[in-house]
Amino acid sequence: SSPQEVSRAAAAAAAALDGWRRTPVTERVQYIFRLKARLEDRLEDFAAAITAEHGKVLAEARGEVRRAIDNLDMACGAPSLMQGDASEDVSRGIDEVMIRQPVGVCAAIVPFNFPLMIPCWFLPSALVTGNTFVLKASERTPLTAQLLFQELEGLGLPDGVVNLLHGGVDTANALIDHPAVRAVSFVGSTPAARAVYARATSLGKRAQAQGGARNAIVVLPDAALDLAADVTAESAFGNAGQRCLAGGLAIAVGNVGKDFTEAVVDLAQSRVVGPGAAAGSQIGPVISGQSRSRIEDLVTMAHRDGATLAVDGRAAVVDGYGDGFYVRPTVITGVAAEATIAKTEVFGPVLTVLEATDLDQALRMVNGGDFGNMACVFTESGRAARRFRYEAQAGNIGINVGVAQPMPFFPFSGWKDSFFGDLHAHGRHGIEFYTQTKVVVERWQ
């Protein structure tokens, strides 16, 4: 989209704002109810579109559509979620009320890895709270956004309430800078999230910017080993490792290291890599040749620095798809906690295994990095689990689960360099982000 088209979209959203804001919230949610029904009816179409342009396997794409629908469900509760507060007689004969009103024109800049779910983190909550909305789709996965907006267009929304833009950094910056835009939501890498947050807030705008991650999964000696290995492998290799909740860093504690590593090595070697739409495929390609090269370069660097490649997924070739951007599941062992591979977001199907002597050392490893998106522990000890939950410096904590994905009625928390802002995506945080409070003090003689 050209700068002129960005300006047209923002202006259209601004022009539609007053009428949409005055639409009762009970009417606004009806559009989302109808959108939910449309996505339910076309679940397979959306899943196929996601697989076609992203590469993830169909089962994962179906799961993404289901998560998007869950977010629509949450937004339909806006008539209750937007309620304010009131107190009578704060002074004699004086009442005070707090109400929520929309922020204005809201923008979202979204990544490639979940081209339907992540737009649905933001769009439904923004609309039901009375805001108008501009989405800048990922330039790597634009077609799913087109499909979503075809369904939105069929709802009969007033012109300008929702708007779609395409493009890269220049389009995103033009959207952030537009004076009509009052709030910006972003998901992407940490450098980009930091830049978006700084740019938006320097202009006096609200911003929530989800960044990168290096999520650790701690396996204690008393853990159910088969469960821990299975779930860790799925967390690290699922979606080809291209998710901000990928558990790509495993910390084996005490004497569990050897058995755990052998188990995840077997699981990595048995994973079927191939086109996302092909029957039997368990892992699809990564998003681009550039991404594949970056992932393989990180693996090569780790090996050069002394790590062991227990499973080497570089130079993967899938029969009949020699030009595909495939990286097979990779398991790296013998890694020091301070190594580059242990600190860097890989965003590929790579599991790095560290070893710790006890929970104290494991927690130091978890908390020693720059990121704080997710941390998980596998244990049968309630005492150890509570300590981990209490001390781990991450916004999403898993106890005997490998992907601590919050349901849409909870916020998608993130700490440290994994999030810039105060209010996270979806849940009550989402409603609060898209509304501003107004306090009214009144007296009637």
- At 405 the pLDDT is 94
Is the pLDDT at 445 greater than 90? The verdict is no
Catalytic residues: 244
Q: What is the DSSP string of 164-228?
A: EE--SHHHHHHHHH-TTEEEEEEES-HHHHHHHHHHHHHTT-EEEEE-----EEEE-TTS-HHHH
Percent of the chain topping pLDDT 90: 100
Mean pLDDT confidence for 93-113? 97
How far is the CA of 434 from the CAs of 35, 132, 165, in angstroms? Answer: 20, 10, 20
Both tokens assigned to 150: 């075809």
Q: What is the pLDDT of residues 402-414, one digit of tens each?
A: 999 999 999 999 9
Q: What is the pLDDT of residues 311-367, one digit of tens each?
A: 999 999 999 998 999 999 999 999 999 999 999 999 999 999 999 999 999 999 999
Provide CB contacts within 8 A for 275, sequence distance 6+: 55, 281, 284, 285, 318, 321, 324
Bridge partners (DSSP) of residue 187 are 210
Tokens 């009625």 found at? 409
Q: Is 339 helix (H, G, I), strand (E, B) or coil?
A: coil
Q: What is the pLDDT of residues 261-310, one digit of tens each?
A: 999 999 999 999 999 999 999 999 999 999 999 999 999 999 999 999 99
Q: What is the pLDDT of residues 141-184, one digit of tens each?
A: 999 999 999 999 999 999 999 999 999 999 999 999 999 999 99
Mean pLDDT confidence for 383-402? 98
How far is the CA of 43 from the CAs of 46, 61, 284, in angstroms? Answer: 5, 9, 20
Distance from the first to the final alpha carbon of the chain = 56
What's the whole-number average pLDDT of the chain?
97
- At 297 the pLDDT is 98
Looking at residue 307, what DSSP letter applies?
A: -
Q: What is the pLDDT of residues 203-223, one digit of tens each?
A: 999 999 999 999 999 999 999
Q: Is 163 helix (H, G, I), strand (E, B) or coil?
A: strand
